[in-house]
């Protein structure tokens, strides 16, 4: 009997949680489409997955800050006859500095990558999933989307809260058709994210128990979306933080956020 291997599209697949998703899904027998800006890293990962898991891996480099990137990416999928079963909306980064200290085009690119691109990819790929009666969409949000915003990295928590609410509505609209949507909400994760934002030195002050590996986050995420969880916060420490945030008065949580953010938020832009 012949079986068709699932096909997963992973954005931001060149490092961190994105690369971990690619490796985990390849282990589970998926073929993959990998996209990110850094083609050399994608090719290296693709070769690894082909050799280790026999996966068919397609590399389609793209900069999701480009307004036409998603439509061109999906046109290429159609041209190659690739039907996406799993969409992992993972691409993201942080913009250090206070809101007014950063040029608007930088904020605009951030909004496109973290908010517009995930929504457009879902919009373009959902019809096929609905028609086939099966699909999985994981929007990589963050614990930051559940707790009060902080000074610095102004749009980051806002973008993650957006992904959570977007995922909830999308899940309700599609679960009866076999399409599961999950907002995956990790806390502090070992990756190069903080090196890129220039906050690694600040991050190193946090205790070890606050951190998870990208692999642990991804394993939880895959199980959560298969179960039909609509929002999943990874790690017991992060789930406690989320629960406490809901229980404490807003004034207190904002005060705590202001105090703690000084330890790990860069208030001066490093662009």
Question: What are the residue numbers of the active site?
Answer: 156
Half-sphere exposure of 221 (CA within 13 A, CB side): 33
Query: CA 6: distance to chain centroid?
Result: 20
Contact 127, 83 (CB under 8 A): no
Cα(4)–Cα(219) distance, integer angstroms: 23
Q: Does residue 84 contact residue 31 with C-beta atoms inside 8 Å? A: no
Length of the chain: 271
Which residue from 160, 115, 166 is spatially nearest to 137, judged by alpha carbons? 166
Q: How many CA atoms lie within 13 A of 170 on its CB side?
A: 30
């Amino acid at each position: 009997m012949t079986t068709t291997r699932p096909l997963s599209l992973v954005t931001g697949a060149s490092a961190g949680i994105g690369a971990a998703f690619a490796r985990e899904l390849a282990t589970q027998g998926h073929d993959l489409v990998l996209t990110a800006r850094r083609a050399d890293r994608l090719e290296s990962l693709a070769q690894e997955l082909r050799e280790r898991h026999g996966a068919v891996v397609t590399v389609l480099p793209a900069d999701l800050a480009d307004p036409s990137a998603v439509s061109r990416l999906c046109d290429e999928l159609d041209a190659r006859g690739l039907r996406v079963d799993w969409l992992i909306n993972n691409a993201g980064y942080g913009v250090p500095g206070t809101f007014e200290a950063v040029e608007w085009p930088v904020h605009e690119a951030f909004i496109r990558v973290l908010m517009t691109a995930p929504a457009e990819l879902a919009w373009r790929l959902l019809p096929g999933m609905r028609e086939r009666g099966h699909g999985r969409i994981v929007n990589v949000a963050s614990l930051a989307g559940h707790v009060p915003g902080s000074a610095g990295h102004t749009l980051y928590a806002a973008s993650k809260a957006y992904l959570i609410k977007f995922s909830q509505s999308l899940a309700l609209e599609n679960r009866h058709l076999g399409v599961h949507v999950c907002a995956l909400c990790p806390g502090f994760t070992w990756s190069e994210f903080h090196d890129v934002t220039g906050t690694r030195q600040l991050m190193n002050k946090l205790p070890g128990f606050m951190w998870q590996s990208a692999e642990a986050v991804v394993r939880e995420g895959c199980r959560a979306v298969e179960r039909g969880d609509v929002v999943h916060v990874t790690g017991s420490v992060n789930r406690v933080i989320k629960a406490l945030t809901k229980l404490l008065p807003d004034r207190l949580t904002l005060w705590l956020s202001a105090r703690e953010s000084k330890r790990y938020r860069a208030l001066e832009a490093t662009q």
